[in-house]
Every structure is written in structure tokens, then in C-alpha cells.
Amino acid sequence: MGFRQRLDEIKSGFTSDFWIANTLELFERFAFYGSTAVLTMFLARKVGLVNEAATLAGLFSGVIFLLPILAGVIVDKYGFKKTLLACFLIFTLGYFLIGLAGMPVGQDILMNIGRKNYILIVLLITAVGGSLIKPCIVGTVAQTSKPNVKALGFSIYYTLGNIGGAIGPLLAFQIREGLGIEFVLVMSSITSFFLFIAAWIFFKEPIPKEVIMQRTFGKVFNDMVLVFGNLRFISFLVIFSGFWIMFWQIYYLLPFYSTDVLLYNNFEFLTTVDAIAIIFLTVPVAELVKRLRPITAMTWGFIFASISWIIIGTIPTVTAAVVGVALFALGESTQAPRFYEYVSTLAPKNQLGTFMGFAFLPVAIGSFAAGPIADWLRTSYLTTNPSLMWFIVAGIGVVSTLLMILYNVFIAPKERS
């Protein structure tokens, strides 16, 4: 097929709603990662929840990545557009209420409800809204891409999400320096409001190409029983969550290390290195590792990710931190393309769709676990032995890598490894 023919095929392969949905995803990720870059620091230094800031942030992100299992039922019942509008409306309210905790006008509310109680409530409200967007955008990408360009469509979706993840922290830095850290959350709220308006005006409900079975909460519950009853499958996902425990430290622990140990106050620049590196590394690294067995590629991804924290812990400089986070991104780029491929081989062949719907659980589990771990490391070692913090994080990666290899040798079926 010639280049021009392929280009024409790509142009005709996506509907306008595909591009609208991905544009919404770009700015939603910008709002999410902009606020996530400062959230733990905001909760600890501005709201005063010093000992539990990362735990609360981990709960927030964990719920966002956990609830899409249930959110798909809402999408099926009310459609993509109504669900998107609800998501952006909840985001608009939720981000503002989080930022309110750092403003003088919000202090009476905090005093009456309690700081932790207030933050817990508004974080959960915002997370519920955030959980709605993933099935909406992913579903729209699937519905608005022709089969011959569907893989490219998901690549575009993934890339634009990372571009948003790179831009968000950079703009968060500008707003934090110019207006104050609480206004980063206000920025996310305003962005979400404009996304609500844009979705209302421009987004049209995609027309399904085929009849899709409507999900119900009962069906989801039955699926959960089926999936969680498969110990081989769930064990692998739990082991793999070790990678995401390491990943979330970029947002939960690294900002404090940057400001308190490296004396580098522009911590948002460090958090954005991962997303920027991912944008440039994903395609070439995927090409390099495509001939490796999935378990081999994932193992190398874990090794790179683990070494990244050793570099950061051994050399206490900003340059080493940048190199370390970039190396972590290399590990992420190495394992990410092969993870879903490997998970698909562990799922029963006649239940592939059901099991793949739970494949993102490691991200949620990793966030839930990373928060308390970050709080423990920060309060125990940040001022006394910061290098040990990162060696412990690296140790999580090493242990997870060994468990994954042992899993593949002794538990995973050989013909599917």
C-alpha cells in the first residue's frame, strides 16, 4: 500500500467525534495531571494534613482508576454524551472544592467539618466524576474508528493523554508561582467547566456499528466474582501493581524530595519528565521489544524502573532525578505495550473481554498502596536518610520483578507465557 493511499485510509478512518473525544481527553488529562502534580504538596503544606497527604492522594487516584469497572454501566444506560457532561460537571465542582480548602474563605468550612473529613469527602466526589470519563473516551474511540485504523486510534488516544500529562504540571508550576498552589486546583476546575461546554456543544453521541449487550450492575458483580475467583489472573495483577507503586512516587514522594533535599522548588518539572519521555519513547521502544516474549519485555521494564530509583537515591542532584525519571519512563515504555498482550494470554479464551476489563486494576491497587508507603517514607526518612527512601522504592521493584518471574515459572501456563 502506497503512502498516499494509507494517508487517505487514515483520513477516512476516523469520524469527527473521534477527534472531538480525543481533544477532550487531552485537556482532561492536562487538568488531572496538573492537579495531581501538586495535590500531595497542597494537602501537606497548605491544608496541614502532613502525615496523611499521600494516603489521601493515593485514595483519590486509586478510586479514579478502580470505578470505571462500574462506570461502564452508567455509560451503557445514559450514553456517552450525558455521562461526559456529568463527569465534567462533577470535576468542575470537585476541583474547586479541593482548592477551597487552601483559601481563607474555606477555613470556616474546614473547622466545622474537620480538615481530613472535608478533604476525604471532596476527593471522593471528584474521583467519582473522574471514573466516568475513561469508559466514555475509550468507548468513543472504539466506536468512531474503522477496523483498519483502530490500533492507530488507540495510539493517538494514548499519545494525546500523555501530552496532556506533560503540559499539565508545567502550567501548574506557572500558576503556583504566580497565584498560589490552591489556584492550580481552580485551574483544573475552570478547565473542566470549559470541557463541559465543549462536550455539550460539539460532542455527538456515536452511533454503534453493532448491537452491544447492555451491562448491568448485576452483570458487573458476576464478572467480578468470576475474575476475582481466578487466583492465577488476580495474583499476576497484584504482583504487577508493584510497578505502579513505584510510578505513583513521582507524584506522592518526589515533590518533597525535590524541595526539601535537592532544594529545587520547581518540582512540577520533575513530575512532567515521565510523560514527556513516554511521548518520545513509546513507538521506538515498542518496535525494539516486539520480538521479545511479553514476560521478558515486562521484566526488562521492571529492571529499568527499579534502577531509576537507585540512581536518584545514590546521586542527590536534580540532574540525577531527571535521568532517573526518564529511565523509569523507559521501563514504562518497555513493559506497557506487552502488558495487555500478556494479560490476554492469562484470561480464559471464552471470557477474554470480561477479564481484560479488569486489566487496569494494578494502576488502582498501586495508587492505594503507594500513598501510605509515601507518607511512611517521607515522615521517617526524608530529613534523616533520603537515599534510603529511594532504595526501598527500588526494593519494591526488585521484589515485584522476582515475584513476576516466579509466577511465570511456577503458576502461569507454559503454553501461554
Overall average pLDDT of the 338-349 stretch: 78
pTM recorded for the entire structure: 0.92
Dihedral, CA atoms, 14, 19, 25, 27, nearest 10 degrees? Answer: 160
Per-residue pLDDT at 5 exceeds 70? no
84: pLDDT confidence band, cut at 50, 70 and 90?
very high
Mean pLDDT of 408-417: 65
- pLDDT at residue 7 tops 80: no
pLDDT score for 378 = 97
Which residue is it, cell 527499579? Answer: 306
Question: Which pLDDT score, from 0 to 100, does residue 210 have?
Answer: 57
Q: Average per-residue pLDDT in the chain?
A: 89
* Residue 416 pLDDT: 43
pLDDT tier at 208, thresholds 50, 70, 90: low
pLDDT band at 417 (very low <50, low <70, confident <90, very high): very low
Averaged pLDDT, 71-89? 87
**Domains delineated in the chain:** 14-204 (1.20.1250.20), 216-417 (1.20.1250.20)
For the segment 31-56, the average pLDDT, to the nearest whole number, is: 96
Q: Find where cell 509466577 sits.
A: 407
Mean pLDDT of 110-118: 94
Q: What is the pLDDT of residue 390?
A: 98
Residues 6+ apart with CB under 8 A from 282: 158, 159, 162, 333, 336, 337
What average pLDDT score do residues 76-105 get? 93
Q: How confident is the model at residue 10 (pLDDT cuts 50, 70, 90)?
A: low
Q: What is the pLDDT of residues 267-318, one digit of tens each?
A: 999 999 999 999 898 878 878 887 888 888 899 999 999 999 999 999 999 9
Asked if residue 397 has pLDDT above 50, the reply is yes
pLDDT of residue 277: 94
